[in-house]
Amino acid sequence: MSDTKAVVFDLYGTLYDVHSVAQRCDASYPGRGMEISAMWRQKQLEYTWLRSLMGQYISFEQATYDALVYTCNALRLDLDKATCDVLCEAYLNLSPYPEVPAALRRLQDIGLPLAILSNGSVFSIDSVVKNSGLQACFLHLLSVERVGVFKPDPRVYAFACQALDLLPAQILFVSSNAWDASGARHFGFDVCWINRRDSTFDELGVAPSYVVRGLDELPEIILATSPARTAPD
């Protein structure tokens, strides 16, 4: 990691807990919150992959809406416009994982530029980051909207290199999504996989460079593998 010039993060499920929407779901459908959240997230991901394969890019907000409609239909839940608006709004107010704010500040103190590369739209990314009060942590908020295709298409990771004016080997990519970590690793990034739930990494022909259980472990790894960097006073 001695050549690392920037750290680039996935947003959904990596820095921010997508299942923080479960509480809002439970308020609308008592006792069904986590069930809705889990299916909603899975279909949201599937729709981004399928849309990319079909060459039919849509906004992340549209994919999120479509996945919610599917979920409620599949679970036989009535979904009116007001409830739909409230639940989709929850995706703009996701909670960061507990260790994330302090870990980001520590990474800033080490002196590495930080960026986000997300399947979210420019609007979605800006909203989530600003609503959590973490906008000062990042020099770049990069959206696949600029490319017109979703991760893990290699054009998205190439866009990060172009935006940061760095080579793949100079970027450390951080994701808790194994499919995303695999795509980034195939592209040529060093990859840190955040494995908060003791999950199994996908069999996609690559392995992450580093595995941590929380973002708070990353600063020490960077300091240990980058002799030129020193811990802040």
Instruction: Quickly list DSSP for 113-177.
Output: -EEEEESS-HHHHHHHHHHTT-GGG-SEEEEGGGTTS-TTSHHHHHHHHHHHT--GGGEEEEES-
Shared domain for 108 and 83, answered yes or no, is no
**DSSP 8-state class, residue 189:** -
In the three-class reduction of DSSP (H, G, I as helix; E, B as strand; rest coil), residue 190 is classed as strand
111 within a domain of the structure (yes/no): yes
Mean pLDDT of 141-167: 98
pLDDT score of 227: 59
CATH of residue 161's domain is 3.40.50.1000
Shared domain for 220 and 146, answered yes or no, is yes
Helices 154-164 and 178-187 meet at what angle, rounded to 10? 60
Mean pLDDT of 128-141: 97
Percent pLDDT > 90 in the chain is 94
Q: Read off the amino acid at residue 106.
A: R
Mean pLDDT of 117-145: 97
pLDDT score of 225: 83
Shared domain for 131 and 204, answered yes or no, is yes
pLDDT at 226 over 90: no
Whole-structure pTM value: 0.94
CATH of residue 35's domain is 1.10.150.240
In tens, the pLDDT along 177-205 reads 999 999 999 999 999 999 999 999 999 99
1 within a domain of the structure (yes/no): no
pLDDT at 73 over 70: yes
pLDDT score of 166: 97
Quote the domain boundaries for residue 67.
18-90
Which of residues 90, 113, 148 is at a domain's end?
90
pLDDT at 121 over 80: yes
Shared domain for 122 and 219, answered yes or no, is yes
What are the residue numbers of the active site? Answer: 10
Percent pLDDT > 70 in the chain is 96
pLDDT score of 209: 96
217 within a domain of the structure (yes/no): yes
pLDDT score of 136: 96
pLDDT score of 3: 85
- Please report, in angstroms and rounded to a whole number, the separation of the first and last CA atoms in the chain: 22
Average pLDDT, the chain: 95
The domain tally of the chain equals 2
pLDDT at 233 over 60: no
Choose the weakest-confidence range: 107-116, 176-185, 224-233: 224-233
Mean pLDDT of 94-104: 98
